[in-house]
């Protein structure tokens, strides 16, 4: 089975300390690897105000994961987050071919212009 590339955004409870947030990130990272995935980049955006209240939370720690994994792993991630209290919201997006082509620059932290993505279609 072929692996796909994904981007996952996770919102972690704001009441946690920085150390506890790092433990949550480690747990999520190990879950990805245990399910046959490979982490390409983890981007911790820190504690930010939410655009609107979610699950009675006005703030949250944003963490973005870029990873490669089999499609069967995504269902396991969803099941895990439903019972894992520190994560109160998450979203997993399968990357398009244009986004996958832009990954090397994104992993290195080089901004990619939208016009460059359009030319790769």
What residue ranges define each of the domains in the chain, with the CATH number in brackets?
3-119 (3.30.70.60)
Give the CA distances from residue 25 to residues 8, 69, 94, 120, in Å, rounded to whole numbers and listed in that order: 12, 17, 20, 33
DSSP 81-109: HHH-TTEEEEEEEEPPHHHHHTHHHHHHT
98-119: average pLDDT: 61
pTM of the predicted model as reported, rounded to 2 decimal places: 0.82
How far is 31 from 9, CA to CA, in rounded Å? 15
Lowest model confidence (mean pLDDT) among 13-22, 28-37, 81-90, 107-116: 107-116
On the question of pLDDT at 109 being above 80, the answer is no
How far is 12 from 49, CA to CA, in rounded Å? 12
CA 20, chain centre distance (Å): 17
103-120: average pLDDT: 54
Handedness of CA 92, 33, 98, 72 (dihedral sign): negative
96-119: average pLDDT: 63
**Inter-helix orientation angle 18-34/71-83, to 10°:** 140
51-61: average pLDDT: 94
26-42: average pLDDT: 94
């Amino acid at each position: 089975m072929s692996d796909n590339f994904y981007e996952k955004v996770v919102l972690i409870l704001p009441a946690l300390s920085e150390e506890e947030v790092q433990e949550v990130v480690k747990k999520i990272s190990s879950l990805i690897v245990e399910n046959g995935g490979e982490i390409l980049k983890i981007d911790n955006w820190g504690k930010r105000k939410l655009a609107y209240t979610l699950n009675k939370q006005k703030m949250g720690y944003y963490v973005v994961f870029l990873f490669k994994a089999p499609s069967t792993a995504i269902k396991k991630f969803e099941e895990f987050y439903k019972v894992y209290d520190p994560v109160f919201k998450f979203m997993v997006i399968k990357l398009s071919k244009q986004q996958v082509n832009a990954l090397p620059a994104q992993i290195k932290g080089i901004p990619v212009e939208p016009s460059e993505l359009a030319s790769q279609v």
